[in-house]
Amino acid sequence: MEKRAEIIINGRVQKAGFRDFIDEIAFHLNLNGYAKNLDDGTVQVICERKEESIRELLEKINIKQYPIRVEKIDGLGDNLGSKIDQSREEITSEIRSLRDDFRSHMDKRISKIEVELAEIKMKVAALQ
């Protein structure tokens, strides 16, 4: 299904070759449209084609490699950009949850090891 996306990209995205980078990716994805710098320091991308191609573009341009650093992608109209931001938040939340679970697991294991070590020390002291 053909879609039109109006995307605003925030971050260090001007004077870094980012528009040429977007243009190259869009060309390879056979997207129609353009990218332009806005006065507020953001980059606007207007593109049309299959939704899957637009999603792939969004994934590929969401980079944080010097000299480009994308901080936020907002999609206007079809809301693709905010879906990417929502997915990023969900992934971050899942990672935090897994990290907390791992920390809890390790705390329990360390406590058990400490108790066992104390018992071993007591038995060794009793033998002497």
CA angle, 96 as apex, 95 and 99 as ends, to 5°? 85
Burial class for 46, CB neighbours closer than 10 Å (0-12, 13-18, 19+)? middle
Residue 35 near residue 22, CB atoms below 8 Å: yes
Residue 4 annotated among the catalytic residues of the structure: no
Residue 30 annotated among the catalytic residues of the structure: no
In angstroms, the CA 114 to CA 51 distance is 56
List 12, 37, 55, 62, catalytic entry? 37
Catalytic residues: 19, 37
